Structure formats: C-alpha cells, structure tokens
Amino acid sequence: MGLSYSASKTIATKTILILAGITIFEVLFALLGKGILVDGVHFPFYVTGFVMIVFSVVKAYLIIYEFMHMKYEVPALVKSVLVPTLLLVWAVIAFLVEGRNWLNNRANAHNDIRIEQAVTEGTHQ
C-alpha cells in the first residue's frame, strides 16, 4: 500500500469528485449531442459516441486503479487481470460490424421485395 491514512483519504475524495464531474459532463454532452440542450445544435453519432466511450474508459480507470487499488498491486497481478480484457476490444469491434451487416442485408432484402412488386405490377422500368 505505502500510503498514509490521510493521503489515501485525500486521494479518495479527489477521485470521487473527478468521477462526479465527468458524469455531469457526459450527461450534458449527450443531451447537447442529441440536440436537446440548445435548439439546432447536434453532433453526429460517432462524435458523441467517441467522446462518451473515452470518458467512460477514464471513469473505469479511476474506479479500478484508485478505488479498487489496482495501482498499488504488483505488475504481474495487474497484467493477469487486465490483459484478458483486451479480448473484449476484438469482440466489440467484430460484433458491431456484424450487426451493421445484418442491417444492410435486411435493407437489401427489403429493396428486392419492392422491386419484385413493382415488376409484377408493371410499374418498374
């Protein structure tokens, strides 16, 4: 551990204040991005998404490293817990790409049906 009682108390207070601040920022940014806070102002989904994910990872870092004391564990323990979670980076990307593909397939199928109907009704050139 290596930290005095009062030093660790200060760190805990500081960490909780940062976490609360980030949360308020995230909520306001989400509302701003969706065009709810200011009329006519809104951001594309990937901009808000990117900002939100970055700040959520910062929150996760603070909770794991300060609250759960990962910062003060030996490096081998840290690696044995955190390295396996890297698999999730692959899983998230792979599955979201797959999900987007389902959407495209469904849209194509829908278009094919529309064209078929138009052909049978004789309205398709």
Partner 1 sequence: MASEAIAHDHHHTSEKASWNGAGSPFKASYGKLMMWYFLLSDAFTFSGFLIAYGTLRFSMPTWPVPDFVFRSFPGGIHNAPLLFVTLMTFILLASSFTMVRAVQEGHQENRMGVVKWMAWTIIGGLAFLSCQAWEWTTLMGEEHMTIRTNPFGTHTEQGVYLEGDGAHIKEGDAFHAGQSYLIHKHGDEWLPLKYKVSEGPDAGQVKQQSFGPKAFGALFFFITGFHGFHVLTGVIFLAIIAINAYSGLYVRRKNGYEMVEKIGLYWHFVDLVWVFVFLCFYLL
Residue 28 tokens, joined: 């306001």
Q: Which is nearer to partner 1, 97 or 120 (CB)?
A: 97
Chain contacts with partner 1 (rule: CB under 8 A): 1, 5, 8-9, 12-13, 16, 19-20, 23-24, 26-27, 30-31, 34, 36, 45, 48-49, 52-53, 56, 59-60, 63-64, 67-68, 73-74, 76-77, 80-81, 84-85, 88, 91-92, 95-96, 98-103, 106-107
Structure tokens at 75: 């490096």
Q: How many degrees, rounded to 5, is the angle at CA 14 between CA 11 and CA 20? A: 140
| Nearest CB to partner 1, comparing residues 78 and 122 | 78
Q: How far is the CB of 24 from partner 1 (least distance, A)?
A: 8
97 to each of 27, 45, 73, 91, how far by Cα in Å? Answer: 27, 16, 36, 10
